[in-house]
Amino acid sequence: MNFSFLDDYGSYFLNGAWVTLQLSFFGVLFGTLLGIVFALMRLSRVWIVRILATAYIEIIRGTPMLVQIFIIHFGLTNFGINFSPFMSGVIALTINSAAYMAEVFRAGIQAIDKGQTEAARSLGMSRGQAMRLIVLPQAFRNMLPAIGNELIVIIKDSSLVSTIGIAELMYNARTVQSSTYIPLEPLLVAAGVYFVMTFTLSQLLNVLERRLGKR
């Protein structure tokens, strides 16, 4: 195998990895915030709110992310809505991540003993205060492995946004392929970079999980 192209194109992979991390960070950050909203909607006592949240979650989870990316970047132009490729990528990753995170948070919230909420209410807390101060902090600790897994999935799935011209890791690997006429090695380098990012993240999450578990 010949990896001599890294002398000239190594920066392509580093720059692509940086863009991938940015896409993943914003996608999971906004996806988590939106996921909490939809999780609370699914747990709402108002039936129409539950139906809207359930419909969103099922539709997003039941359709491919690639289709969602194309709808956001190309389809919305029919309504005069135009996003830059990077913004389209962030939005697509956000709405996709939110659907999965909503279910993670819903399961985590429901796993907390209802007696704790009742105790908080008996102390004068509102339902919202009990959720924010008592339930969510405990649920987050239990959900950390699932949240970390979603972040790793998003890092890998971010490769799909290369289809709309974002110069992330996979896009740059294909650029190197076309420039050097080397079919395999650029892909192996890209795979290695993805592995380093996801493995490093998983180890950091394991450390955080152990620290939270000691409290």
Could you read off the pLDDT of 39-91 as tens digits, one per residue? 989 988 889 999 999 999 999 999 999 999 999 999 999 999 999 999 999 99
**For residue 74, what pLDDT is reported?**
94
pTM assigned to the model:
0.86
Q: Tell me the per-residue pLDDT of 1-39, one tens digit each, with 9 for 90 and over.
A: 778 889 889 999 999 999 999 999 999 899 989 998 999
Please identify which residue in the block is written with the tokens 């580093």: 14
Give me the phi and psi of 113, to 5 degrees please. Answer: -55, 125
Q: How many Cβ atoms from other residues are within 10 Å of residue 9's Cβ?
A: 20
In angstroms, the CA 157 to CA 12 distance is 19
**For residue 214, what pLDDT is reported?**
54
* Domains identified in the chain and CATH numbers: 6-213 (1.10.3720.10)
Tokens for 124, please give them.
């004068």
